[in-house]
Amino acid sequence: MPRKLLAPQKSLSFSTRVWRGSNDFSAMNAARGGYRVFSANSTAACTELAKRITERMGIELGKAVVYQEDNGETRVEIKESVRGQDIFIIQTMPCRDVNTAVMELLIMAYALKTSCSKNIIGVIPYFPYSKQCKMRKRGSVVCKLLASMLAKAGLTHLITMDLHQKEIQGFFSFPVDNLRASPLMLQYIQEEIPDYRNAVIVAKSPDAAKRAQSYAERLRLGLAVIHGEAQCTELDMADGRQSPPAVRNLTLHTGLELPLMMAKEKPPISVVGDVGGRIAIIVDDIIDDVESFVAAAEILKERGAYKIFVMATHGILSAEAPRLIEESSIDEVVVTNTVPHEVQKLQCPKIKTVDVSLILSEAIRRIHNGESMAYLFRNIAVDD
């Protein structure tokens, strides 16, 4: 039989040969599936948490330079390729220079966006301006503005911890993982507070009662709430209205008058619950202006509490907070390292720190690998 002539095969182009090469394809896939962790802070104290996270993950911090020029402008330079990779930006907010930290984060996010990063995930343990999440008189909802700025800069995901109000997550146009520090705080209470079974969880205001109740139920402890005229009037101003109205009678049209509103009057300060002969543990999400905590500690001391702890996720501790704590009846203040506070610890030995890098590093790993985040919220109450 005559032999059949085989049609000559077309030579493959260089790009096709590179694409079909299994080794080259695997290398390309690995490069595209990689990730980097950057720190957007220009000060050494603020990069401590980022270093702890990368040490737990067994990787190095991404190579970038963040600095302030003499004219006050912020400059960010990315020193390695980030094309097609998941990028995590860790940004802690120093209490004395929040606005600079925000600009560093925005500029770095935009630099990574223009460098063709696949995803840009912001790791912001303490989200700044979170207290300005409600309209007050003729003010503005700054938290919403910041969320829009982050989205415009290029962020596609956010990891944060214990937002001041959980409704803040609705300000963002991309996914938000609001992690909780309560498991670490509960562990600290059980391991570091002797005779914690004789303790009572205290809410320094009715606003913090739900968080305190959640702690009390899981520790099987009692609950106490401080209520009265010494409380902060944040909710009074939240809706932008005054009570009573400035005008006695407001006439809308002939024959219609609004009734005179009774002025709000808080009752004398009181403690709902028994704290006599017990350890009082005050829990909250933020400790910044410590005057309310100091006042609460004095009341608890008068009611018979023999030891007083204050526990909060974010220890901003601004202004004269370390001095006030040192001179107060508070025995210990326990905060996490979401906000750098090494200077405050030198001024006040009562301040103790709980490390949250374990939770944040696990969140980064799960998001990059596409795993469920449900494990990090296991046994977490809604009111934490």
- pLDDT, tens digit only, all 384 positions of the chain: 454 444 444 444 433 333 333 343 233 333 346 999 999 987 887 899 999 999 999 999 999 999 999 998 999 999 999 999 999 999 999 877 899 999 999 999 999 999 999 999 999 999 999 999 888 888 899 999 999 999 999 999 999 999 999 999 999 999 999 999 999 999 999 999 999 999 999 999 998 999 999 999 999 999 999 987 654 445 444 454 455 555 555 455 556 676 776 777 777 788 999 999 999 999 999 999 899 999 999 999 999 999 999 999 999 998 899 999 999 999 999 999 999 999 999 999 999 999 999 999 999 999 999 999 999 998 887 777
How many other C-beta atoms can be found within 10 angstroms of the C-beta atom of residue 279?
23
For residue 36, which of 66, 63, 64, 62 has the smallest C-alpha distance? Answer: 62
pLDDT at residue 228, as a whole number: 79
Token reading at 187: 């562990």
What distance in Å separates the CA atoms of residue 113 and residue 118, rounded to the nearest whole number?
Answer: 8
Ramachandran angles phi, psi of 120, nearest 5°: -120, 110
What distance in Å separates the CA atoms of residue 58 and residue 60, rounded to the nearest whole number?
Answer: 7
How far is the first Cα of the chain from the last one, in angstroms, to the nearest whole number?
A: 85
- From residue 270, give the alpha-carbon distance in Å to each of 119, 154, 206, 225, 305: 51, 49, 12, 8, 14
Token reading at 159: 């990891």
3-state secondary structure at position 314: strand
pLDDT at residue 33, as a whole number: 62
pLDDT at residue 376, as a whole number: 92
For residue 280, which of 258, 249, 259, 311 has the smallest C-alpha distance? Answer: 311
What distance in Å separates the CA atoms of residue 313 and residue 207, rounded to the nearest whole number?
Answer: 16
Helix boundaries (H) for 21-157: 22-32, 48-57, 98-114, 142-153
Prediction pTM value = 0.82
Contacts of residue 320, Cβ cutoff 8 Å, sequence gap at least 6: none
Token reading at 106: 């925005």
Token reading at 346: 């030198």
| Residue written as token pair 């017990």 | 278
pLDDT at residue 32, as a whole number: 41
What distance in Å separates the CA atoms of residue 280 and residue 303, rounded to the nearest whole number?
Answer: 11
What distance in Å separates the CA atoms of residue 47 and residue 156, rounded to the nearest whole number?
Answer: 22
